Chains A and B, each alone.
Chain A
Amino acid sequence: MDERNILDHQFVVAAYTVTWVIQLGYLAFLGVKWRSEKRNAERKSRPAR
């Protein structure tokens, strides 16, 4: 009965962790994209010809 509870608890932790890994991972990916777009914009507004 007790092992069942421990496993339940572990699965809940796993589910919540996976959710946040995915969400925060995507947010990080967006951050990288944002930075590269900013760099592109700067490059375009100051053409170093």
Chain B
Amino acid sequence: MKKVLLTLFPLVTVLLMVQGYHQAIYVAPDDAMQGYVFRIIYYHVPSASVAFLFFFISLIGSVGFLAFRRSSPNRAQIADAWALAGAEVGVVFCTVVLTTGPLWGRRAWGIWWTWDARLTTTLVLWLIYVSYLLLRRFAAGPQMQTLAAVLGIFGALDVPIVYMSNRWWRTQHPAPVFGGDQDSGMKDPTMVHALLWNMLAWFCWGLLVLFLRYQVERRHQEYAAIEAQEALEASA
């Protein structure tokens, strides 16, 4: 049963991607105001949603690790694997958001970038989780996971603060706003459908990659545990 699912899911994901692409490029009409370039939204918005969801998953993993550290070490390791996978895949999707966004903005609103609440928060989120990944790479030893989990919590805590402070900044010093209410521009049901197809496709893709990353990390944890055990026995 599991094998069937494992081979079926990637296949379904690829099919959804093809359907999403078809919807985005051939079925959905040009936007009334932005024209052809509006189609970037079908990749940009789903990527943003997946990124935020995965950063949230990473936060849950970090909290779970700290909670289960002493009481249930195996569960803690699982939590830590989710924390890392969520962060890393989240950064990948967030990178997509930060590259497709300016490409869209340049053609649609004439500017590559602006320091409004949404963009600034996305950028800071990217910075925080890249720094999280750097900590995991540079910190040594068994306590690395604990330290990373703590940083993960701090980072997640910061995000709403960044968003609100930037909103206040922009009420005092108004600047161009990217996108405005892009959802309100979607009155055409064909466009909504195209977006939903791509949402589904990218969520499936994201889950697939997240799961793969999780599995790689679990394998790595087992290997590291065996290595530590051997080192312990060798020194005994």
A-side interface residues toward B, CB under 8 Å? 4-5, 7-9, 11-12, 14-16, 18-19, 22-23, 26-27, 30, 33-34, 37-38, 40-41, 44
Contact = CB atoms under 8 A, between A and B. Distances in A.
Interface stretch (B99-107, B138-146, B168-176): B99-107
Contacts of A14: 103
B219 to A, nearest CB: 4
Interface in B178-236: 205, 209, 212-213, 215-216, 219-220, 222-223, 226-227
B96 A34 contact: no
B106 A11 contact: yes
B216 A37 contact: yes
Given A22-B92, A41-B223, 19 more contacts: A8-B37, A8-B107, A9-B36, A15-B43, A15-B99, A15-B103, A16-B40, A16-B43, A18-B99, A19-B96, A22-B96, A23-B92, A23-B96, A26-B89, A26-B209, A30-B209, A34-B215, A40-B223, A41-B222
Interface residues of B, number: 31
| Secondary structure class of chain B's binding surface, majority of residues | helix
B47 interface: yes
Chain A interface main SS type: helix
Interface in B94-145: 95-96, 99-100, 103-104, 106-107
B95 A22 contact: yes
A18 B43 CA distance: 11
B37 A37 contact: no
A34 B216 contact: yes
Interface centre among A7, A19, A22 (most CB of B within 10 A): A19
B222 to A, nearest CB: 7
A12 B39 CA distance: 7
B47 A37 contact: no
A5 B43 CA distance: 20
A23 B96 CA distance: 8
Contact of A30 (B44, B95, B216): B216
